[in-house]
Chains A and B, each alone.
Chain A
Amino acid sequence: MSEAQLIQPLSDAEIAAIEAEIAHLPDRESAAIEALQIVQRARGWVSDESLQACAQLLGMSAASLDSIATFYNLIFRQPVGKHVVMVCDSVSCFVMNGEGLKDRVAAALGISMGQTTADGEFTLLPIVCLGACDRAPVMLIDETLYGSEQIENLDAIFAEYRS
């Protein structure tokens, strides 16, 4: 999506995608979560302006939509870095020293949980069990899952994303 389009609270492509979701649901409001996800996929997060535009498109109030947005863990109502690093903090990873992984990732990025690197590249967040417990401890970078067997050289992994 072009920069120019992202200046709008909702781009034409986003509107089209949201309308497509609405088309196979019983009513417009039912597409609330899909709409938020569409915006987030395009922009990384959901700003107040986008939220308002979505609400209007769905025929609901901003408060109603934000009520939904703030309920879910994976809808970001604050800006995040270009890449989101999520380290599992649930029990299977915990017994496999997931805390250690968390510390290593934090050290590699130079930030703590909930923070974004100064260059805006990475945001580090905890995440609940990623359903990959046989590979514990695990983490997710954007849409890619990393099992323990893949996490040896964190610096190398992050460097790949940086470039």
Chain B
Amino acid sequence: MPAITVDGVTYEVREGDNLLQACLSHGLDLPYFCWHPAMDSVGACRQCAVVQYADDEDTRGRLTMACMTPVSDGARIDIKAAHAEEFRATVIEWLMENHPHDCPVCEEGGECHLQDMTVMTGHTTRRYRGSKRTWENQYLGPFVGHEMNRCITCYRCVRFYRDYAGGTDLAAFGSRGRMYFGRAEPGVLDSEFSGNLVEVCPTGVFTDKPFSESYTRKWDLQSAPSVCTGCAVGCNISASERYGSLKRVHNRYHAELNRYFICDRGRYGMAHVNSAARIRLTGRRTGPELFQQIEPADALADAARICATDHTLGVGSPRASLEDNQALRQLVGAERFCAGLNSREAEFMHAAVGQQDVPTLKDVEAADAVLVLGEDLLNTAPRLALALRQATRNVAYEMADEANIPRWQDAGVRGHAQGAANPVFIASVLPTRLDDIATATAHGDPHRLALTGAAIAARLGGQALASAALSDELDDFVAQAAAALAGAQRPLIVTGASLMTPALLTVARNIFTALQASGEPRLAICGNEANSFGVSRFGGGLDLEEVLKAVESGSARNLIVMGNDVFRRADKQRVAAALANLEHLVVLDGLENPTASAADLLFPAATSAECTGTLVNYEGRAQRFYQVFVPSDDVRPAWRWCVDIARAMGRNDMAWQHVDDVLDALAAQAEFSGIDGVAPPASTRSHSGQKVPRATHRYSGRTAMYAAASVHEPKAAVDDDTPLSFSMEGLNRDQSGGLVPYVWSPGWNSNQALFKFQQEVGGSLRGGDPGVRLAPWETGAQASIAPAEGRTASTGLRLLHLPQLFGSEELSAYAPAITARMQAPWIVLHPDDASGLGVVEGDGVDCVGHSLEVRVDADMAPGFAAVTVGMPEAPAWLPVGDVSLSRDPDFVRRPTIIARG
């Protein structure tokens, strides 16, 4: 390890780093702007200047940009040399010439990297006398606000948006002192990752629009470490609240997983917890669509009576925590519990949870050849798609190594590579927005995709699969993909459950196995919901089909459904009939949905912002999300409702007081062995005996917060469940990696303070990577191959899921900003099928009771149709068999372009 001397102190540093990384990795305060840990150096801002000395005799040294200078053993630099300090203050003085100094009305104020750097350099007096340049701002959609006057031209926004995330509609315009960062014309930002601009911008140019609408300073936020419930990737997020409502979501660093970025569903979707559609009171149904509020105690007594019978089944949920599911399972008995997945998905997932060598996202970024089988990743696991995009750069890094270009020299690496990219093969139902990184793409129905995968596996196994079923085009795709994967050291296969086709998993595994001969393959499997991987570990029990049959046959007369809209998982008429057949439907949920509307007894369940719990992501990583604020009204975590029902029944087998108690019960089960390592126990304290504060230590106005209601300062809520406190007292330092509610350090008020929490820049958190990876769990289930989906001449079309980032996920669809991005539902038809139905692009089609806009695409497999599912006005679930469609003569095309706001 090379050693460098900084201000007279010698430090060991990582070989190959630059001086800025080296200084920050040792926690030193060195200002910077254009450098970003995920996007490396370009040397634009010149803020990170230090004095470097040539040798021991050199006393003057010369200024050098730390971010552009590689470390070398024995190098001697000074951050604190007067000349360097003066230069850095001058850089701020230059940047401040045109800055509007509108901090009091700026959303960034109080967590602004520009403010921090200004204070850090000591620039205080304005000497520039000229007038300031001003700009017109642009409407950029419902997510991101724009205030160009504040720009300091660090180029980070375009480097993230374009170079890192592959967006093309944001760019740098102009030159010299008139640089503009925006779109060619006002309009909605196109990237699935646009919200990261808010965190990437070091000042207030790009701001979180929903947050601005009900704004709170960072220092007045209470935050908790949370986990996104948007998909099975399980990105770590920091969720912040004030006055009991969720204010915003930031990325929460996890070195192996989401690292510095999350997708827009994750950032803006959690606002569902503030929705007016929340269920907040216990209720008993008194008539169709009529509920009467009742006391929780009365509701519990009712539920206890219902649960006391033998005829009660429980339906859990892949979007609820393990604790919630465990509690319901215990309440009704394992053999009467259903994890809530339909049988095809359950079959897929039961096999998926046994997979070995599942890559972290960091592993995904390291892959050198990729095959995506069936999944439209930007709509089902967007953060994974972003990691895939980085994987294409490995060859560029290798070329840079050859040319002696440091890997962190971003422009040099990109320029030298000239677009050279690692191979990515995407086989999907329809073209995807990730196809721009694809070497080749193939399209087909799920059966055909599985055949394609099987052909690749066969080829890798040395058999040229004689498959008359594949076209020449697919043959070519198969040959290319097999060659690329076989030639790779770290090949990666990605598949997923979105098409609910277990055969895809089977062939993906065959490819994986074949590749074990030549390299170190990884297989990533996407699940459909945040806890699909968690609940699929539960052994025994029923699947949803069995539950429905039991209800239909009358053998089950009561149903407790927790956090699950059953209408999204089976045929609407069938579910409606089944539910109507019940004596009692008890629903525990947080938001209105058709199942909740059918309940006889309704318990308001906490959302992920209001309780603490555990989710298991696609990596098999159990992750803890922490309560952000105390819920209002009757809302309780679902697991507590279950415990309370059990208590009302007089049972003592589940007398759990705390989340940890539920966790212990889980950990006692083989399939969850080791899960108690997910988070430190509630009793954990800092070395000085303190909890981790959710509020910043500058939290202001505590006594005045509720002044409109009462002049008495309410007692701070107590959190017995976790090592976090609802308070500003405590220590936000040196804690376990999963317990970082927000980042802050003296002098570093913005999210750039993160490096103070990392072992080294870009490395693990000081307290370790959050969560614990569970060992693969062999359920014994094997996904079957090809459930004879080859089509024969038929009367209708077979419908396929077309998941949408904005709209298809049940909870996030309730967030206003996400709602604003949702498009009217549509159906994609092959041209022949369209003409068969007598429709053209833009017409309407009646599809299982929904009127859908027709899009015609030659890539669509004939005989199949893809339907946006789960969005309002779209079917919640697609029938498995052939479906007859008909032209909807009354269809009126709804605007899909969002009006200027």
Residues of A within 8 A of B (CB): 27, 48, 51-52, 60-64, 66-67, 70-71
Task: Name A26's closest neighbour in chain B (CB-CB).
Answer: B418
> Restricting to B150-203, which residues have a CB under 8 Å from any CB of A?
168-175, 180, 183-185
Q: Is the CB of B174 within 8 A of A63?
A: no
Residues of A near B171 (CB, < 8 A) are 61, 63-64, 66-67
Bound form: Cα–Cα A64–B169 in Å:
7
A127 CB to closest chain B CB (Å) equals: 16
Task: Name A51's closest neighbour in chain B (CB-CB).
Answer: B184
B185 interface neighbour in A27, A48, A71, Cβ under 8 Å: A48
Q: Is the CB of B174 within 8 A of A61?
A: no
Bound form: Cα–Cα A136–B339 in Å:
85
Task: Name A71's closest neighbour in chain B (CB-CB).
Answer: B175
Bound form: Cα–Cα A60–B168 in Å:
8
30 contacts between A and B (CB under 8 A): A27-B419, A48-B184, A48-B185, A51-B184, A52-B184, A60-B168, A61-B168, A61-B169, A61-B171, A61-B184, A62-B169, A62-B184, A63-B168, A63-B169, A63-B170, A63-B171, A63-B183, A63-B184, A64-B168, A64-B171, A66-B171, A66-B173, A66-B184, A67-B171, A67-B173, A70-B173, A70-B174, A70-B175, A71-B174, A71-B175
Task: Name A65's closest neighbour in chain B (CB-CB).
Answer: B184
B158 CB to closest chain A CB (Å) equals: 8
A interface secondary structure, majority: helix
Bound form: Cα–Cα A13–B281 in Å:
70
Task: Name B169's closest neighbour in chain A (CB-CB).
Answer: A63
Bound form: Cα–Cα A66–B182 in Å:
11
Known A62-B185, A63-B171; further 20 A-B contacts with Cβ < 8 A: A27-B419, A48-B185, A60-B168, A61-B168, A61-B169, A62-B184, A63-B168, A63-B169, A63-B170, A63-B184, A64-B168, A66-B171, A66-B184, A67-B171, A67-B172, A67-B173, A70-B173, A70-B175, A70-B180, A71-B174
Bound form: Cα–Cα A52–B168 in Å:
13
B531 CB to closest chain A CB (Å) equals: 38
Bound form: Cα–Cα A89–B488 in Å:
59
Residues of B near A64 (CB, < 8 A) are 168, 171
User: Which of A27, A48, A66 has most chain B Cβ within 10 Å?
Assistant: A66
B160 CB to closest chain A CB (Å) equals: 15
Residues of B near A51 (CB, < 8 A) are 184
Residues of A near B180 (CB, < 8 A) are 70
Task: Name A62's closest neighbour in chain B (CB-CB).
Answer: B184
Residues of A near B185 (CB, < 8 A) are 48, 62
Bound form: Cα–Cα A101–B183 in Å:
39
Bound form: Cα–Cα A32–B173 in Å:
15
Residues of B near A62 (CB, < 8 A) are 169, 184-185
Task: Name A60's closest neighbour in chain B (CB-CB).
Answer: B168
Annotate B375-403 by CB proximity to A: 1 below 8 A, 0 otherwise: 00000000000000000000000000000
Residues of A near B183 (CB, < 8 A) are 63
Residues of B near A52 (CB, < 8 A) are 184
Task: Name B176's closest neighbour in chain A (CB-CB).
Answer: A71
Residues of B near A66 (CB, < 8 A) are 171, 173, 184
Residues of B near A27 (CB, < 8 A) are 419
Task: Name A69's closest neighbour in chain B (CB-CB).
Answer: B173
A29 CB to closest chain B CB (Å) equals: 10
Bound form: Cα–Cα A52–B174 in Å:
17
B285 CB to closest chain A CB (Å) equals: 53
> Restricting to B704-722, which residues have a CB under 8 Å from any CB of A?
none
Bound form: Cα–Cα A67–B175 in Å:
9
Bound form: Cα–Cα A51–B173 in Å:
14
Bound form: Cα–Cα A156–B891 in Å:
67
B737 CB to closest chain A CB (Å) equals: 38
Bound form: Cα–Cα A71–B178 in Å:
10
Residues of B near A63 (CB, < 8 A) are 168-171, 183-184
A66 CB to closest chain B CB (Å) equals: 5
Residues of A near B184 (CB, < 8 A) are 48, 51-52, 61-63, 66
Bound form: Cα–Cα A64–B163 in Å:
12
B188 CB to closest chain A CB (Å) equals: 13
Residues of B near A67 (CB, < 8 A) are 171-173
User: Which of A27, A60, A64, A67 has most chain B Cβ within 10 Å?
Assistant: A67
B233 CB to closest chain A CB (Å) equals: 27
Bound form: Cα–Cα A48–B174 in Å:
15
Bound form: Cα–Cα A61–B189 in Å:
13
B133 CB to closest chain A CB (Å) equals: 15
Bound form: Cα–Cα A71–B168 in Å:
17
Residues of A near B168 (CB, < 8 A) are 60-61, 63-64
User: Which of B183, B184, B185, B419 has most chain A Cβ within 10 Å?
Assistant: B184
Residues of B near A60 (CB, < 8 A) are 168
User: Which of B168, B169, B171, B172 has most chain A Cβ within 10 Å?
Assistant: B171
Bound form: Cα–Cα A64–B170 in Å:
8
User: Which of B170, B173, B174 has most chain A Cβ within 10 Å?
Assistant: B173
Bound form: Cα–Cα A62–B169 in Å:
7
Task: Name A61's closest neighbour in chain B (CB-CB).
Answer: B168
Annotate B407-428 by CB proximity to A: 1 below 8 A, 0 otherwise: 0000000000001000000000
Bound form: Cα–Cα A48–B172 in Å:
17
Task: Name B168's closest neighbour in chain A (CB-CB).
Answer: A61
Residues of B near A71 (CB, < 8 A) are 174-175
Bound form: Cα–Cα A27–B420 in Å:
13
Task: Name B161's closest neighbour in chain A (CB-CB).
Answer: A63
A35 CB to closest chain B CB (Å) equals: 16
Bound form: Cα–Cα A48–B419 in Å:
28
Bound form: Cα–Cα A70–B184 in Å:
11
Annotate B733-751 by CB proximity to A: 1 below 8 A, 0 otherwise: 0000000000000000000
Bound form: Cα–Cα A62–B168 in Å:
8
A159 CB to closest chain B CB (Å) equals: 36
Task: Name B183's closest neighbour in chain A (CB-CB).
Answer: A63
Residues of A near B170 (CB, < 8 A) are 63
Bound form: Cα–Cα A71–B184 in Å:
14
Annotate B256-290 by CB proximity to A: 1 below 8 A, 0 otherwise: 00000000000000000000000000000000000
Task: Name B173's closest neighbour in chain A (CB-CB).
Answer: A70
B164 CB to closest chain A CB (Å) equals: 15
